[in-house]
Chains A and B, each alone.
Chain A
Amino acid sequence: MSVKLAWTKNTDPRSNCDAYDDAMLELMDKDQRYIHIDCDLLGCINGKRIKSAHPDRLINAGIAEANAVGVAAGLASTGFIPFVHSFGVFSARRAFDQAFLSAGYSRWPVHILGTDPGVTAGANGATHMPFEDGALYMSVPNAVVLDPCDYAQTYALTKKSAAYPELTYMRMIRKKFKTVYADGTDFEIGKGIVLREGTDVTIIASGIMVNNALEAEELLRKEGISAAVIDMFTWKPLDEELIVEYAKKTGAVVTAENHQAYCGLGSAVANVLAKNCPVPQEFIGIQNLYGQAASQDYLEKVYGLTAEDIAKAAKKAIGRK
Chain B
Amino acid sequence: MNKEEKMKELRVFAARIRLETMRIISHFGKGHVGGSMSLADAFAVLYGSIINVDPENPAWEDRDYCVLSKGHAGPVMYATLGLKGFFPVEEAYTLNQNGTDFPSHTDRTKTKGVDLTTGSLGQGISEAAGAALGHKLLNKSNYVYVFVGDGECDEGQVWEAAQFAAHYHLDHMIALVDNNGRQLDGTTDEVMSHPKGIGAKFEAFGWNVIDVKDGNDVEQIYDALTKAKQTNGNPTAIILHTIKGKGATFAEPTGAHSSSPAKEVWDEAVKACEESLAEIEKEASL
Contact = CB atoms under 8 A, between A and B. Distances in A.
A54 B98 CA distance: 41
A94 interface: yes
B18 interface: no
Nearest to A90: B120
A43 B185 contact: yes
A60 interface: yes
Nearest to A298: B98
B188 to A, nearest CB: 8
A63 B121 contact: yes
B98 A40 contact: no
Contacts of A295: 98
Interface in B168-218: 183-185, 190-192
A44 interface: yes
B100 A294 contact: yes
Given A62-B151, A63-B152, A294-B96, A126 B103 contact: yes
A236 interface: no
Interface string A36-77: 001011111000000000000000111110110000000000
Contact of B119 (A62, A66, A123, A128): A128
Nearest to B121: A63
A40 B187 CA distance: 10
Which of A43, A62, A89 is the most central at the interface, judged by chain B CB atoms within 10 Å of its CB?
A62
A123 B151 contact: no
A62 B154 contact: yes
A124 interface: yes
Interface string B201-243: 0000000000000000000000000000000000000000000
A64 B149 CA distance: 13
A60 B183 CA distance: 12
Given A60-B192, A126-B107, A294 B152 contact: no
Contacts of A64: 154-156, 192
A125 B103 contact: yes
A293 interface: yes
B97 A294 contact: yes
B96 A125 contact: yes
Contacts of A271: none
A45 to B, nearest CB: 11
Contacts of B155: 63-64
28 contacts: A38-B185, A40-B183, A43-B184, A44-B184, A61-B154, A62-B154, A62-B183, A62-B192, A63-B122, A63-B151, A63-B154, A63-B184, A63-B192, A64-B154, A67-B156, A90-B120, A123-B30, A123-B96, A124-B104, A125-B96, A126-B107, A127-B71, A127-B117, A127-B119, A128-B104, A128-B119, A293-B104, A294-B96
Interface of A: 38, 40-44, 60-64, 66-67, 89-90, 93-94, 123-128, 292-295, 298
Interface of B: 28, 30, 71, 96-100, 103-105, 107, 117-122, 151-152, 154-156, 183-185, 190-192, 257
Q: Which 5 A/B pairs are nearest by Cβ-Cβ distance? A: A127-B119, A62-B192, A62-B154, A293-B103, A125-B103
Given A125-B107, A294-B97, 19 more contacts: A40-B151, A40-B154, A40-B183, A40-B184, A42-B185, A60-B190, A61-B154, A62-B154, A62-B191, A62-B192, A63-B122, A93-B120, A125-B103, A125-B119, A126-B103, A127-B120, A293-B100, A294-B99, A298-B99
